[in-house]
Amino acid sequence: MTDLPSSMDYPTRDSTGNIDATLSMLNTMVSILDSRVGIVLAIPGGMLSGQLVRKATWYKEWFELIEHGGEGAESFATTLKHLFSASGRLGPDSEFIDHSGDYLHVIDGALTAGNQTSSKMPWRVRLDQVAAWSLGSDPRKMGA
């Protein structure tokens, strides 16, 4: 495949060649500003739409969902937090320490594959797995 020059149509990729630099910058801005933005991601398996948030916001919601998961869930969530704390992955301020790669953190994410759409849940998506993306919400819900 021929490398295309950087332009408005072909954004510059990062040094690994696998991550869209503009999407990576957007992810950094969301983290710095502790904000959220509607996003649609084309990923292997379908299209994911939801709210891009900073990592700490995502983990907070993830733990809350686990805690409210039914019988024994609160105990499970507490044990999981202790495990992450003991392994040095959860700081004293409950900030999750994760150096496993570049991820997007999406809450209220719904994955659409064909005619099927999942219920809304938090998703972690590796940046290098995003084939295309757009700001906004699910395009099928927008007026024509």
What is residue 130's predicted lDDT score, i.e. its pLDDT? 95
Q: pLDDT tens, 97-139? A: 766 668 999 999 999 999 999 999 999 999 999 999 999 876 5
What are the domain boundaries of the chain? 21-136
Q: Is the pLDDT of residue 5 over 50?
A: no
At 67-102, the pLDDT tens digits run: 887 788 888 888 888 888 887 777 766 667 766 668
Question: CA 128, CA 55: separation in Å to the nearest integer?
Answer: 17
If one counts every other C-beta atom within 10 angstroms of the C-beta of residue 57, the result is: 19
From the list 64, 39, 4, the residue with the least C-alpha distance to 127 is 39
Region 21-136: CATH code: 2.30.30.100
Q: What is the pLDDT of residues 15-54, one digit of tens each?
A: 456 789 999 999 999 999 999 999 999 999 999 999 999 9
> Which residue, 61, 15, 18, is CA-closest to 36?
61
- For residue 86, the SS3 value is helix
